[in-house]
Structure 1
Amino acid sequence: MRSLARETPLILGLALLAFMVAVALLAPALYPSNPLFSNAPPMQPPDWAYPLGTDHTGRDVAAMLAWGTRVSLLFAFGAAGISLVCGTVLGAISGYFGGLVDDVLSRLFEMFNIVPRLFLIILVVAVFGSYLWLTVAIVGLTMWPSNARIMRAQVLTLKSRGYAQAAIVSGAGPFTVLFSHVVPNGIGPVMANSMLQMAYAVLTEAGLAFLGLSDPNIASWGQVLYWGQGFIASAPWMIIFPGLAIAMLLMSFHLIGGTLQERLDPRQQGAMA
């Protein structure tokens, strides 16, 4: 932990993420009314009254971005959380029990990998509707194989360690050994990968919104980009500010995830050595 505290990229990433979390928490206090229903002057350039300007219907861009921060963070943590749980559990079981269980689960990993991820997400949203939690679940359920492969490799290495064998000798059951002793010692690289998956989840949400496939009743960064794409020349602030917000959040996840991956993933450490 002391060595991580000296990592400048990690500190910068945490600072950016903390700023985004603060904006998300303060959004209801700063902009208590629904940002999608505003009677501000349309196409108002940034000024003291509207720091980020307004769009073509008079909606405050700052208010929409503040509330959109909540959507992006929910999407990032929700999708990555689903991927983390599914990948950790299935990868750990696959690596610990081996044999037929490993073969079946490995084929499952490969099956999910060959499915075009973005196409599947677009198909589900088009068929069942652009509900926020449904989209979060679909994105999370398409990302877990990478976490499963990392966790499987960790378990294959750690299950023969002394502490795992000591737990077996003491009479602990296989799942107790796996999830109380093996998984906690191998979860680091999976956590690092999940941070990088958060960036993918945010980018996926913004992409779906930009394509008009997100919930139109919820303000999000991708929605602002979608509404502003026809006004790039006359109102560039409608594109610039949500683009900067997305870039900042992606940068924070990549800085945090990249640093953790270098420090916690044995393969990365070996490459660095």
Structure 2
Amino acid sequence: MKTHSRFWRRFCRNKGAVVGLLILAIVAVLAVVGPAFAPNDPWAMVDQPFLAPFVEHALPLGTDTLGRDIFSGVIYGARISLVIGLVSTAVALLIGVSLGAVSGYFGGWVDASLMRFTELFQAVPSFALAIVLVAIFQPSVTSIVASIALVSWPPVARLVRSEFLTLRQRDFVQAALLAGQSTPRIILTQILPNALSPIIVMGSLMVATAILLESSLSFLGLGDPNLMSWGYMVGSARTVLLQAWWMAVFPGLAIVLTVLALNLVGEGLNEGLDARTDGRTK
């Protein structure tokens, strides 16, 4: 309990992190319960095309090229964008942590082989590789999640490797070895818990990057055409930006606010998990 209390005290010192957490809470509520209260189906043609925002109270954010409700689209898009961001980050962390832990713990030729394998994925720009993968496997939520995960895990592997290289020399690991604990148990119960802080911080920032990647893919027409996401909405507005600016602005603002909030929370987590900040004041 005291540890949790100290964490929240350090986290709350960062006012930006608190604001970011509030924004994320609002987005999460929209993603979970928003669609149940959305005024319209985001795919339904409910009014005239290109209806400007704030003209009608029932359609506060206006309509798109087909007369679909932008407000409902933003609400529904929160769920898809967050799900893609969270799931792809979880998969990337699973791959990166597993490879980094094995590499850092065993060292030697195992470390060298896994790091050369990691460098293969880093040799190609991540966004370009994601485009190729989605194009090959056809745009869908599954292919987008898999592509983002596959281009996102190398930095995690390198981070975890460096942590394990340091921690495996500590006395508590040597004590566990002398006690006869198995290698998987030492990795999972002794070293990994002590390496969680930087992994958690990196994970929060990776969710933001994943949302941006999904939005970029959708902007290029490589999003799932059957699901409404913020990136899809911005992409569908690219040919009418001057005629209907609101089609891109409102989902774009949703992306910017969510990514900014995740970065602010990441900074707060970094400070909250760093015991050295106890003596600092804001």
TM-score by length of 2: 0.90
Aligned pairs for 1:4-153 within 5 A: 4-31=11-38, 34-46=41-53, 47-153=56-162
2:206 aligned residue (197, 206, 209)? 197
Contact 2:52/2:62 (8 A) holds in 1? yes
The one-character-per-residue Cα deviations of 1:51-99 (angstroms, maximum 9, x if unpaired) are: 1111121100011111111111011101111111111111111111111
AA at the equivalent of 2:25: A
CA distance in structure 2 between the partners assigned to 1:32 and 1:98 by the alignment: 57
Contact 2:24/2:258 (8 A) holds in 1? yes
Aligned pairs for 1:248-263 within 5 A: 248-262=257-271
Identity over aligned pairs, percent: 37
RMSD of aligned Cα (Å): 2.0
CA distance in structure 2 between the partners assigned to 1:182 and 1:65 by the alignment: 42
CA distance in structure 1 between the partners assigned to 2:238 and 2:157 by the alignment: 38
42-51 vs 256-265, greater mean Cα deviation: 256-265
How far does residue 41 in structure 1 lie from its aligned partner after superposition? 2.3
Aligned pairs for 1:175-194 within 5 A: 175-194=184-203
Could you list the runs of 5+ residues in structure 2 that have no partner in the other structure? 1-6
CA distance in structure 1 between the partners assigned to 2:264 and 2:17 by the alignment: 6
Contact 1:228/1:238 (8 A) holds in 2? yes
CA distance in structure 1 between the partners assigned to 2:149 and 2:215 by the alignment: 15
Partner of 1:210: 219
TM-score by length of 1: 0.92
AA at the equivalent of 2:224: D
CA distance in structure 1 between the partners assigned to 2:272 and 2:161 by the alignment: 19
